[in-house]
Amino acid sequence: MYRIIKREQLGPAVVSMEIEAPAVAKRARAGQFIILRVDEEGERIPLTVAGYDRAAGTVRIIFQAVGASTMQLAAKVQGEYIADFVGPLGKPTEVEGVERVCVVGGGVGCAIALPVVQALHEEGCYVHAIAGFRNKDLVILEDEFAASSDALQIVTDDGSYGAQDNVTMPLKALLERGERFDRVIAIGPLIMMKFVVEAVRPYDIPVVVSMNPIMIDGTGMCGGCRLTVGGKTKFACVDGPEFDGYAVEFDEAMSRGNMYRDFEAHAREAACNLLAKEVE
């Protein structure tokens, strides 16, 4: 069992938790993920490592309570326990040897982008961060981003905070005025990452994207997280989660993700009813 050391509500449906998991904290690096189960009968949930404290033996996760299992996890409070917490899994972000990087995060994907920004900053890299959200109420981790970024731009779809833009607009503006980066890293919804890749393509700058398809075992055995990358089948859990953005078949990935939408909606409704009964 793994104890919840700290729980914080970052937004209407976004929760941050610090989990006591010394073995995971000892080896975790930016870009990797864990798989947890809320209870012994729960499904396996992959979540990216949002931070870690090796001395305290804790790992931070940040998630949006949108599905049945994440809603059950969000209902947990400080001091309670979760059944399983396995990791770190996946390959860490390559942060050595780069001098100028633009990191683009979208929505809750910013929770994944933050440790990448922090790791790059610790390596002495110049980091220009762009974070996009639907509106002001959904903005998260601004102070943390500012502390580890040489430049930070926040945009919102409705203009309620920062500039009214999507993340590709400030990125295009940077490139058009002559800014050059060794690498662009995009983390967020699939459609966002697809358009970031297209925005950067004319400038021939390497683009890294973080993929988060459906996962089950996290070892490459089940094949649930398969992707087509460069015309070959890859598995996000063992080959990724980061890939060359130019090589990813985004349309296929989006189509596969949508296959489970109805099932997830039914599971979410059942979880809502169950949690409501528990409150009563």
State the span(s) of the chain assigned CATH 2.40.30.10: 2-89
List, in order, residues 6 or more apart from 151 with CB less than 8 Å away.
127, 128, 129
> Given this model, what pLDDT does residue 148 score?
95
CATH superfamily, region 2-89? Translation factors (2.40.30.10)
State the span(s) of the chain assigned CATH 3.40.50.80: 94-210
pTM: 0.85
> Given this model, what pLDDT does residue 222 score?
76
Q: What is the pLDDT of residues 240-266, one digit of tens each?
A: 889 999 999 988 888 876 655 554 544
Q: What is the pLDDT of residues 176-215, one digit of tens each?
A: 999 999 999 999 999 999 999 999 999 989 999 998 867 7
> Given this model, what pLDDT does residue 263 score?
46
> Given this model, what pLDDT does residue 225 score?
80
Low-confidence spans in the chain with pLDDT less than 50: 263, 265-268, 270-271, 273-277, 279-280
Which class would CATH give 94-210? alpha beta
> Given this model, what pLDDT does residue 267 score?
45
CA distance 70 to 149: 30
Please state the φ and ψ torsions of residue 140, each to the nearest 5 degrees: -130, 155
The answer to whether 240 and 232 are in contact (CB under 8 A) is no
